[in-house]
Amino acid sequence: MNINNNNIDDFIKKSMEGFEVRPPSQIKSSVFNKLFFYNLWLRRKRLLPFVIALLMVSSGAIGYSIYNPQLSISALKIYSIKKNTFKPLTQQPFENAQSEPQIQNDNKINNKETVKSSKAIDEQKSEPTKILTQKNDNDKIIPAKENNFNTQKNQNSNNNIIEKPALIALSNNSIQTPVNINPQEDIKTELITSYSPLPSPMALYNPNNLPECLASINSPKFKTQFLWSGSINYDIPIYSNSRTFEGSDQLAQKYSSSFKNTFGPIGINFRAEKKNLFFDFGIKYSSFQEKIQTPFGLTNPYDKENIDLIGHYITVDTSAYYHYYWISDSTVRIIDSVWTVEFDSTSHNLYDTTYTKIYDTVHNPVLSVKYTRLDFPLFIGWNTMVKRFQFGVSTGPIINLFINTNNSISPDYIYYETFKDLNGKFSKFKVGLSWQISASAGYFITNRLVVELSPYYRFRVINVKPDYSNATIRTSEIGVNAGIRYFF
Amino acid sequence: MNLSDLLNGCIKGHRKSQDFLYEKYAGRLYFTCLRYIQNNEEAQDVLQESLIKIYKNIQNFDNDNEGAFWSWMNRIAVNTALNHIRDNKRFEETDISELENVLGFSEEEEECDSSLFSTVSSEKILQIIQELPSGYKIVFNMYVFEDFSHKEIAEKLNISINTSKTQLFKARKLILSKINQIIDNKLVKQAI
């Protein structure tokens, strides 16, 4: 046969059929590099819980660093002292504290006055409060607070050290002041780390209960600091609607299952509160079991599956859709869309409206699926005190991380190999998101220990669903969270 | 992995599915690019661009038929290649009379034996197509491989239908001529 202008197209097309040229490997990496951010964008729903968690933890950390009680109190302290040169003061402590900034200003304004000889210093021994300052090479007076605890070496090597008697050291609500100042002595500096313990949470709720010394400060820092507490708690579910199937009412009607918590959810929780507002974050562990208790077996053939039916070997082509059917006595019931069954070389289409008798089985297998999950609650709330009782409300997301699923099937079911478990389609480490609304009531059994009960309503925002399936676990739950909280 | 999983996975941004799509189709897509663009590096650029367009627009493909999916991807690659050619102003109608003089076309119709044609490798045929003048090459590829009609080609390339027909006719003739040359060379070598 000759090839000419009229038929060359077909010959060329035929000769090039299936022909491909492998591109260089760097093309692949280049393409996927360019898709990196696009893929992140596509996974934004999955990443959102982590971003929220990160933001909340970050803001908590920033808030903690800002309102850290140590920082608040250290603002009232002067840091460097000469060892054994201070003795307790008997005078009103916070008057001195308030005078500190004024002294610093005086030093800055009039350097000459602050640079004094050792004689002058000796004369001032009895003066109660002044700031340790140092004159550096540029004759600049550096307040002790800024000087970051001069070392012995530095002080010895610098003859321009101007000793100032004075220091305010807040230690156990007392003020110390220097005596016997001698600039030639070996000077050691140290940070005073002991200070008045925080008032109890009950006291903070009621300013009248503040210790007198703190109340007299009238410092806004004490009012704005976070109060930290931690709790151990346990969820007691009272009601939960366990599972629905989207897009298949028929399935939802027939399929019933029950959830049973086998352990937990038990968790620890940390709370930062300021005035009446609080933020909670923590972690919870839970494992629960789903038990399919219908008389029907449930199986989920996917793609192609070989099923042995009374000696006949058939191929089920599900055309890439995920189908459910029950195996009941004498009946295979197909739920959704079309099944193509190749039976003895003959193809049959089975529709969901047609219940086709295929084979007999009277087995009623029980399928139980065990899930293990970590929850990360992130709540914001408001509470108030009434005598020794604390009442509050809170709301926020709970990030759910499924870390394991496994199943078991009743061993008397002989067609074990044909019984595909539902949980097999769950990926490990699947992430979901729930939202919780709760109220709480607590009782202070001591000044720092609170027993709490929190009724809650929890519903799922982002479902955890098996791959390739329309089936989703869409739970909502009502329960009570019981816990005990300790204020640090 | 079947097509439905592949599409779902790519829509969700699963790397595994994207990998699978690449491994399965990149070779064929690269062949498409090479048919239009002779320069390897440029063809690779076009392939990259095409693949990214495919991944980013895969949610717009609404069909579970694999043939339709391939056609859709191939169409993206072809359009990207045509845009590339247009952007680089490489497309030009080949002046037939001038080319005839250069190539020594005769009025006689070229023919070759189909049994001898089968001895010509696919790589050689690809090379022949690549070496066609750009006007011939584009029209020939669009008509033969992409199944465009002359009307569609004319609209897409902004040329007349007659021009499209003529370019195709000449492209065929040129390809046949080159295939005959290859076959003749082979026969001569064998005779020697």
User: Best interface-test mutation with B: which of A20, A427, A467 has the largest number of B CBs within 10 A?
Assistant: A20
Which residues in chain B have Cβ-Cβ distances shorter than 8 Å to A30? 48
Q: Among B22, B64, B113, whose Cβ lies nearest the Cβ of A2?
A: B113
Mean pLDDT taken over chain B: 81
CA-based nearest residue in chain B for residue A12: B125
Is residue B76 less than 8 Å (CB to CB) from chain A? no
Helix (H, G, I), strand (E, B) or coil at A411: coil
Q: Among B2, B52, B175, whose Cβ lies nearest the Cβ of A8?
A: B175
Q: Among B13, B22, B145, whose Cβ lies nearest the Cβ of A39?
A: B13
**B26 pLDDT more than 70:** yes
Q: Among A1, A31, A40, whose Cβ lies nearest the Cβ of B48?
A: A31
Q: How far apart are CA A421 and CA A366, in angstroms?
A: 11
Which residues in chain A have Cβ-Cβ distances shorter than 8 Å to B144? 9, 12-13
Give the pLDDT mean for B110-131.
80
Which residues in chain B have Cβ-Cβ distances shorter than 8 Å to A24? 44
pLDDT of residue B176: 86
pLDDT of residue A369: 62
pLDDT of residue A54: 78
Give the pLDDT mean for B161-175.
87
CA-based nearest residue in chain A for residue B49: A31
Is residue B70 less than 8 Å (CB to CB) from chain A? no
**B156 pLDDT more than 50:** yes
pTM of the complete model beyond 0.90: no
The C-alpha of A425 sits at a distance from chain B's nearest C-alpha, in angstroms, of 13
Confidence of residue B33 (pLDDT cuts 50, 70, 90): very high
Helix (H, G, I), strand (E, B) or coil at A197: coil
Cβ within 8 Å, pair B26-A28:
yes
B6-15 pLDDT tens trace: 888 888 888 8
Cβ within 8 Å, pair A5-B169:
yes
Q: How far apart are CA B155 and CA A161, in angstroms?
A: 91
Task: Give the residue, B42 or A247, on which the prediction is more confident.
Answer: B42
Q: What is the end-to-end Cα distance of chain A in Å, rounded?
A: 95
Pairing of strands A133-135, A141-143: antiparallel
Helix (H, G, I), strand (E, B) or coil at A416: helix
Cβ within 8 Å, pair A15-B117:
yes
Burial B141-162 (b: 16+ CB within 10 A, else e): bbbbbbebebeebbeebebeee
pLDDT of residue A118: 44
pLDDT in tens, chain A (488 residues): 677 777 788 888 888 887 888 888 888 888 888 888 888 777 776 777 777 777 777 777 766 666 655 543 333 333 333 334 334 444 444 444 444 444 344 444 444 444 444 444 444 444 444 444 444 444 444 444 444 444 444 444 444 444 443 333 343 444 444 444 444 444 433 433 333 444 445 555 554 554 444 444 444 444 457 888 899 888 887 876 655 444 344 444 444 555 566 777 888 999 988 878 899 999 998 877 766 544 444 444 433 344 444 333 444 444 444 343 433 333 333 333 344 444 434 444 343 333 333 332 334 445 566 777 788 999 999 988 888 888 999 999 988 887 766 655 444 443 433 334 444 444 556 777 889 999 999 998 887 889 999 999 988 777 665 443 444 555 678 889 999 998 88
CA-based nearest residue in chain A for residue B14: A39
Rounded to the nearest 10°, the torsion over CA A44, A46, A49, A52 is -20
Listed range (A456-470, B53-67, B110-124) with the worst mean pLDDT: A456-470
Q: What is the DSSP string of chain B?
A: --HHHHHHHHHTT-HHHHHHHHHHHHHHHHHHHHHH--SHHHHHHHHHHHHHHHHHHGGG-----HHHHHHHHHHHHHHHHHHHHHHTT------HHHHHHHHT--SSPP-EEHHHHTTS-HHHHHHHHHTS-HHHHHHHHHHHTS---HHHHHHHHT--HHHHHHHHHHHHHHHHHHHHHHHHHHHHHHH-
Which residues in chain A have Cβ-Cβ distances shorter than 8 Å to B64? 319-320
| ipTM (interface pTM) | 0.82
Cβ within 8 Å, pair B117-A43:
no
